[in-house]
């Protein structure tokens, strides 16, 4: 019985009019969630494969158009380059082989880790270093990642001579055909462990909490991804490379400002007298407080623009602006003298009208 594939838009959780960036973000998020080296729940591998198939079609403009026009997913999926997609997102060629077949290509790479770093606006403005903390599967400190009891070493697998591959050769119609597969004795490790390390149980990996200093570029955009090679999960087998750490830069909440790209917004309260008569007020910026003139007759919700008082434009020259949205503050419980002044003002306005 043929299995009916789910709608690819539904698989990625995006609307049918989603742009390429939204499709890519959805794939990255879901792929990290269901990556088989991170998610051991039943069905995670099948879900990961389904996500990869959906992205392979929807990320290709022509195949997406064909899919929207009703072309069968089977006809479209046959021609996509999933291997390149896996490399682009750092999943490695070995994971492609694991799901979709292929020749063993050495030890599997560790999975990537994605975390978010809440960076203060001042650091985003100047650029600088930010310390991030995260948990990862790292090489075991006791056995140095070998999986063998300290003082001992794994021995070379006699079946595959340390290659991790079982090779065979046959002659067919005068042509020699060579085949290779994962060694069943060492399961591709290339070595056997007689005395496992007590700390990691022979896996060579252990969970640890780590801190790392990353460099934040000046004006870093919200959502910018910084890749730190080799600081992700340790490889699941010896000689394999560790994954990468992906640090997603986010602007830390700031009670003074709201970020909008390179621009900043601030709600600034002023008194009714300052709004009517004009005033000079002190306003905070990322470089310190400055004086700003409020013109006479300023109306509630008016805006003042302070040029080049925002954030540096990432990857470009210049800075954004700081916008002040003015809120006129009225007295809630005026005293007797103040109330009298407001009464006189009202009477004056009535006579003028």
Does residue 92 surpass a pLDDT of 60?
A: no
Q: Residues, the chain, total?
A: 353
**How many domains, the chain?**
2
**Helix or strand (DSSP H, E) at 64:** helix 61-68
Residue 96 — very low, low, confident or very high, per pLDDT cuts 50/70/90?
A: very low
Q: Distance from CA of residue 274 to its chain's centroid?
A: 45
Residue with tokens 């005026």, as numbered in its chain: 334
Question: How far apart are alpha carbons 232 and 242 in whole angstroms?
Answer: 6
C-alpha–C-alpha distance, residues 17 and 9, integer Å: 9
Average pLDDT, the chain: 84
Look at residue 290 and tell me if it is in a domain.
yes
Question: Tell me, what CATH number does 16's domain have?
Answer: 1.10.287.110
Residue with tokens 């290339």: 190
Among 102, 123, 157, give the residue marking a domain's end. 102
In a domain, 19, yes or no: yes
Q: What is the pLDDT of residue 330?
A: 87
* pLDDT tens digits along 139-190: 888 998 888 999 999 999 898 888 777 777 666 555 556 677 778 888 777 8
pLDDT at 172: 58
Residue 188 placed within a domain: no
Residue 53 in any domain: the answer is yes
Instruction: Answer whether 183's CB lies under 8 Å from 164's CB.
Output: yes
Q: What is the percent of the chain with per-residue pLDDT over 90, rounded to a whole number?
A: 44
Q: Which whole number is the average pLDDT over 121-147?
A: 92
Of 102, 134, 160, the domain-final residue: 102
Residue 138 and residue 160 in contact, taking contact as beta carbons nearer than 8 Å: no
Would residue 120 count as lying in a domain? no
Give 10's contacts (C-beta < 8 A, 6+ positions apart).
Answer: none
The 10s digit of each residue's pLDDT in 49-90 is: 888 888 888 888 888 888 887 776 666 655 445 555 655 555
What pLDDT, on the 0 to 100 scale, is given for residue 91? Answer: 57
At 62 the pLDDT is 82
Specify if 289 maps to a domain: yes
Residues near 28 by beta carbon (within 8 Å), at least 6 away in sequence = 89, 114
Q: The whole model's pTM is what?
A: 0.60
Mean pLDDT over 201-212 rounds to 89
Within-domain flag for 25: yes
List all residues 6 or more positions away from 255 whose beta carbon is below 8 Å from its beta carbon: none
Q: Which residue has the higher pLDDT, 235 or 23?
A: 23
Domain range for 65: 1-102
What is the Cα–Cα distance from 271 to 275, expressed in whole angstroms?
A: 6
Beta-bridge partners for 117: 249
Q: Domain end: 70, 102, 134, which one?
A: 102
Give me the CATH number covering residue 324: 2.60.260.20
Residue 177's pLDDT is 61
In a domain, 343, yes or no: yes
Q: pLDDT at position 95, please?
A: 47
């Amino acid at each position: 019985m043929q299995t009916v594939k789910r709608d690819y838009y539904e698989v990625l959780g995006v609307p049918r009019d989603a742009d390429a960036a939204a499709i890519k973000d959805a794939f990255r998020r879901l792929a990290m969630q269901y990556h088989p080296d991170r998610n051991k729940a039943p069905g995670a591998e099948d879900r990961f494969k389904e996500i990869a198939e959906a992205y392979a079609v929807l990320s290709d403009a022509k195949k997406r158009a064909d899919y929207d026009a009703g072309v069968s997913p089977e006809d479209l999926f046959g021609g996509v380059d999933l291997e390149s997609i896996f490399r682009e997102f750092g999943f490695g060629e070995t994971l492609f082989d694991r799901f979709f077949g292929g020749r063993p290509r050495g030890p599997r790479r560790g999975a990537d880790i994605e975390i978010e770093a809440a960076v203060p606006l001042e650091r985003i403005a100047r650029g600088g270093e930010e310390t991030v903390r995260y948990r990862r599967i790292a090489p075991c400190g006791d056995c140095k990642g070998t999986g063998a009891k300290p003082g001992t070493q794994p021995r070379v697998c006699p079946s595959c001579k340390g290659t991790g591959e079982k090779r065979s050769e046959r002659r067919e119609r005068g042509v020699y055909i060579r085949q290779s597969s994962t060694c069943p004795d060492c399961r591709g490790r290339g070595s056997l462990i007689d005395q496992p390390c007590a700390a990691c149980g022979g896996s060579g990996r252990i969970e640890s909490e780590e801190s790392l200093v990353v460099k934040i570029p000046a004006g870093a955009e919200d959502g910018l991804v910084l890749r730190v090679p080799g600081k992700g999960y340790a490889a699941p087998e010896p000689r394999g490379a560790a994954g990468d750490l992906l640090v997603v830069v986010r602007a830390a909440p700031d009670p003074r400002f709201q970020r909008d790209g390179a621009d900043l917004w601030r709600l600034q309260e002023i008194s009714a007298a300052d709004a009517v008569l004009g005033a000079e007020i002190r306003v905070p910026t990322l470089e310190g407080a400055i004086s700003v003139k409020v013109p006479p007759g300023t109306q509630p919700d008016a805006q003042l623009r302070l040029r080049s008082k925002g954030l540096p434009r990432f990857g470009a020259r210049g800075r954004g602006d700081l916008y002040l949205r003015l809120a006129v503050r009225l007295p809630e419980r005026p005293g007797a003298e103040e109330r009298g002044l407001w009464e006189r003002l009202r009477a004056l306005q009535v006579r003028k009208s």
